[in-house]
Amino acid sequence: MPDSPLQTAPELAHVSPRDKAEILAQALPYIRKFHGKTIVIKYGGNAMTDPALQQDFAEDVVLLKLVGMNPVVVHGGGPQIDEALAKIGKKGTFIQGMRVTDDETMEVVEWVLAGQVQQDIVGLINVAGGKAVGLTGRDGGLIQARKLRMRDRENPALEHDVGQVGEIESIDPSVVKALQDDQFIPVISPLGFGANNENYNINADVVAGKLAEVLKAEKLVLLTNTPGVLNKQGELLTDLTAREIDEMFADGTISGGMLPKIASALDAAKSGVNSVHIIDGRIPHAMLLEILTEQAFGTMIRSH
């Protein structure tokens, strides 16, 4: 058994002992500042499908827990759902970035998210030395939802039926808090239930954002396949306020697949989450570097 993970990390082999100590010392003020605080992490993109990045992610989550923070993981599973649908000869369809979810698709979504994907993440975190527990919105009455009524972006009078896609009515965080207090790391699938026990598929970015609000999280971290929020020239914007994001919506700088992600981030920032980080999950240990160092690995949105 190695004495220190730093001894075995090949990427640190060329770093002098003094520089290693500097790296660790730089993390100290952040560890102190965020000790005991909740950090909600939306896990998605390449970080979920690349085996090396999966392991990095699991190690990062365990380390955050060990230094006294309270990570809560919410995961997506778009590529895995598409793969499972293809096996039964079905193709996913989307309206305005939302997956149209009929009964058959819903069964696949539940099986993939609450079964395969969630259990993979729980296993990865446990192997990395953490104690992860999988939850869906049904557990402990966590996420109560209703059918999403989706207005057309161009013509608000028009409504799209996207099937069993839900919007959140309420979140009861007591099961998450109980697990956190008991040293567990909750891993949450974005599935909710309705007043008549019906099942709903909910956008994972939306679940992560709302959960961060309800848990009064210090941070919401969204792992993506992009460097972060880019301006019209394609340059990374590392630090934005909620007001600046509003302006970028208005002038069309932010569009397409980033819309639901940034909208959730913005809502969370406006509802008391101190900072929201949209980071590049394709960079090894991006989450740890974003939280525990000065360097920016994405875009931070400040509440004010």
Q: Could you read off the pLDDT of 232-243 as tens digits, one per residue?
A: 888 888 888 888
Please, what's the b/e burial string for 5-27 (b: 16 or more CB within 10 A of its CB; e: otherwise)? eeeeeeeeeeeeeeeeeeeeeeb
Place of tokens 């869906």: 136
- Looking at residue 53, its pLDDT comes to 93
Closest CA to 269 of 298, 296, 229, 304: 304
Q: Which residues are annotated as a binding site?
A: 77-78, 99, 201
Q: What is the pTM for the complete model shown?
A: 0.90
Q: Which residues are annotated as a binding site for substrate?
A: 77-78, 99, 201
Which of residues 118 and 301 earns the better pLDDT score?
118
Which of residues 218 and 260 earns the better pLDDT score?
218
- Per the structure block, which two tokens stand in for 148? 């999403």
pLDDT digits (tens, 9 = 90+) for 30-69: 999 999 999 999 998 878 888 999 999 999 999 999 999 9
CA atoms of 65 and 130, how far apart (whole Å): 8
Q: Among 125-134, 162-171, 187-196, 295-304, whose mean pLDDT is lowest? A: 295-304
- Looking at residue 12, its pLDDT comes to 56
Residue 5: is its pLDDT beyond 60?
A: no
- Looking at residue 256, its pLDDT comes to 65
What domains does the chain contain, in order, with CATH numbers? 36-259+266-286 (3.40.1160.10)
- Per the structure block, which two tokens stand in for 244? 């600046």
- Per the structure block, which two tokens stand in for 115? 């079964």
